[in-house]
């Protein structure tokens, strides 16, 4: 296990197998529809060197996570050698404690070791409002490719649904 950050209250570390069930159980309790397989796959990809998985702890309890995909294949920078930040989540009961920023500090530091740029996608609906504001404050800029839906660039006037698959991409030099 690697520790990326630790100030005695917030700790950012690599994933261990037991984290998969904690993430699944917490997201399920929110009424979301997670799959424990997703988090088990994250761990396997971490061990295979394809993805970094950053687990946030707050006062010793798992409180969020974020991943960094080293060779993404989707989005405007897919297959171009730029890593992608995916799946940043901070548990609801510990919002506004700086955990998201500490996660991104660790992710950006690792991304800078393999690239001069990192990118991410953020949802468009209001549930993503705090993340949208945080990314802009941290220097992420819209890439100009417009709105993406279900993994594809959305054509002008094309129908879509304002769900978790309606995204904008942003990038930052690291």
Tell me the mean pLDDT per 10 residues along the chain, length 174: 97 98 95 92 97 98 97 91 95 95 98 97 94 96 94 93 95 96
Each domain of the chain, given as residue ranges in start order, spans 3-173
Which class does domain 3-173 fall in? alpha beta
**C-beta separation of 57 from 65 below 8 A:** no
* Burial class for 73, CB neighbours closer than 10 Å (0-12, 13-18, 19+): exposed
CB 92 within 8 A of CB 30: yes
Q: Are strands 117-123 and 84-90 parallel, antiparallel or unpaired?
A: parallel
pLDDT at 33: 87
Q: Looking at residue 72, what is its pLDDT?
A: 94
Strands of 7-157, DSSP E: 10-14, 51-58, 61-69, 84-90, 117-123, 141-149, 152-153
CA-CA distance, 64 to 62, in Å (whole number)?
6
Are 123 and 161 in contact by the 8 Å Cβ rule? The answer is no
Question: What pLDDT score was predicted for residue 63?
Answer: 98
């Amino acid at each position: 296990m690697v520790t990326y950050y630790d100030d005695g209250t917030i700790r950012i570390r690599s994933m261990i197998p037991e984290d998969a069930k904690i993430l699944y159980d917490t997201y399920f309790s929110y009424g979301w529809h997670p799959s424990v397989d997703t988090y088990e796959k994250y761990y396997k990809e971490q061990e295979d060197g394809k993805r970094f998985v950053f687990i946030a702890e707050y006062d010793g309890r798992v409180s969020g996570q974020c991943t960094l995909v080293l060779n993404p294949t989707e989005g405007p920078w897919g297959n171009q050698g730029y890593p992608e930040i995916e799946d940043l989540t901070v548990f609801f009961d510990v919002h506004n404690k700086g955990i998201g920023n500490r996660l991104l500090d660790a992710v950006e530091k690792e991304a800078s070791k393999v690239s001069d740029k990192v990118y991410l996608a953020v949802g468009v609906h209001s549930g993503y409002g705090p993340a949208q504001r945080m990314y802009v404050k941290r220097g992420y800029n819209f890439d100009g490719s417009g709105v993406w839906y279900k993994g594809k660039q959305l054509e002008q006037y094309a129908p879509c649904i304002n769900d978790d698959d309606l995204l904008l991409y942003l990038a930052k030099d690291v």
